[in-house]
Amino acid sequence: MKIFKLTISAFFLAFTFSNQATAAGLIVDLNVNYQTDNDNVQTYKYGTTIAQAFLGASITKSGKLFFGQNVCSFSRTYTTAGVSYSFSTLELGPRISYYFDGAKTWLFTAIWNPFAEGTRTDNSVVDEIKGSSMEFGLGYQIKLSKKVSLGVMMTYHALSITKVVDAAKAETTVSSTYTSIYPMLSLSMRF
């Protein structure tokens, strides 16, 4: 199954590069989010870090619709009363971005990551996790120059964990979903 997922991701990446000659443009999009919350009364701590990179090509002559490969690093940590739980994943898959206007300020993104793997730590017990994720975002960008834009995006992210591999390499099928809605800062470069 892992090979199948990697093959799909490679296919989408190859499709992106094969369209470069006929595309109305290329895009490199970098998105980040960091948030933390602390409560010194209940000794509660929460933190999330997300970093994404997107390399895509326009698949329309108008240059409003972009398709390409997305790479996402996602991590989350909870600590309460001395007990810690965290997970971290690398997520790969295709992304579609659509700009609603010709000035390319308002955009919608849809991402499907068939490959999402990483580690989960539950009170010092470390397991490997495998699954997939999807993401939808609505954003607004301001042009800093002809080719560079800076913006913000509200994003819905759902990570579905389907397999857990423990330290003894025993694999267990599970059904865990982690959902988040968060803002992201975005830096886009169009060529």
pLDDT reported for residue 112: 96
For 49, residues 6+ apart whose C-beta sits below 8 A from its C-beta are 33, 34, 73, 74, 75
Rounded to the nearest 5°, which phi and psi values hold at 174?
Answer: -130, 175
Which residue, among 143, 114, 148, 118, has the nearest Cα to 130 in the 3D structure? Answer: 118
What pLDDT is attached to residue 27? 93
Q: What is the pTM of this model?
A: 0.81
Distance CA(51)–CA(137), nearest Å, equals 14
Q: 65 with 73: CB under 8 angstroms? A: no
CB 55 within 8 A of CB 34: no
**pLDDT for 20:** 46
CATH architecture of the domain with residue range 2-190: Beta Barrel (2.40)
Low-confidence ranges of the chain (pLDDT < 70): 1-24, 42
List the chain domain ranges. 2-190
> Who contacts 101 (Cβ-Cβ below 8 Å, separation ≥6)?
none
Contact of 38 with 67, CB cutoff 8 Å: no
Query: 123-135: per-residue pLDDT in tens?
Result: 888 899 999 999 9
> Which pLDDT value is given to residue 21?
42
